[in-house]
Amino acid sequence: MTARLEDWLATEQQLASATPDPAPTQEPDRRSGLDRLQAVLRGHGPAAPIGRTLDFRLVEVEHGRAVFQGAPAQAHYNPLGSVHGGWFAALLDSAVGCAVHSTLAAGRAYTTLELKVNYVRALTDRVARVRAVGEVIHVGRRVATAEARLFGPDDRLYAHATTTCLVFDAEAAS
């Protein structure tokens, strides 16, 4: 577990040293979803501001797969003294959404229609980092589905989720 956590922290530090994110833009992007997400990893594209707010970031992406890493903190706690379910859901939604996004051609976009989260165990800041690994199940012309698991460096599962996304032409949303 210690070696895995050290690897995760090293990856995080390497990514943090990349060029700072430019400000998000409303300009149409002519790159594929995978190219856009890889640019974010290299520091050449805007990361979602919610990642800074909730202390998580994209750490890996390939076609049909996206990995987010987060640091549970007391700022994310609910009144019961553990991490709020909304924090879990934000990481899982990011992982499944970006897994779908990584499969889309230039000019295509998506939005979440449904997110189902199953909470398996409580999480506290005693777990230094967790990872949400999202993988596509199916991408069609209009609908995509994906799943994700949220686990710690010791492979303990904290939650898992599935999503259904609507896929559409990005210009139609403008």
Profile the chain (174 residues) by mean pLDDT over runs of 10 residues: 86 75 58 95 89 95 98 96 97 98 97 98 96 98 98 97 97 69
CA distance linking residue 99 with residue 97, whole number of Å: 5
Q: What is the pLDDT of residue 101?
A: 98
The pTM assigned to this predicted structure is 0.89
* 151 and 6 Cβ atoms separated by less than 8 Å: no
- Give start and end residues of each alpha helix (H) in 17-174: 33-42, 49-54, 85-101
DSSP class of residue 44 equals: S
Q: What is the pLDDT of residue 24?
A: 53
Domains defined for the chain, CATH in brackets: 2-18+30-173 (3.10.129.10)
Q: What is the pLDDT of residue 121?
A: 97
Q: What is the pLDDT of residue 85?
A: 97
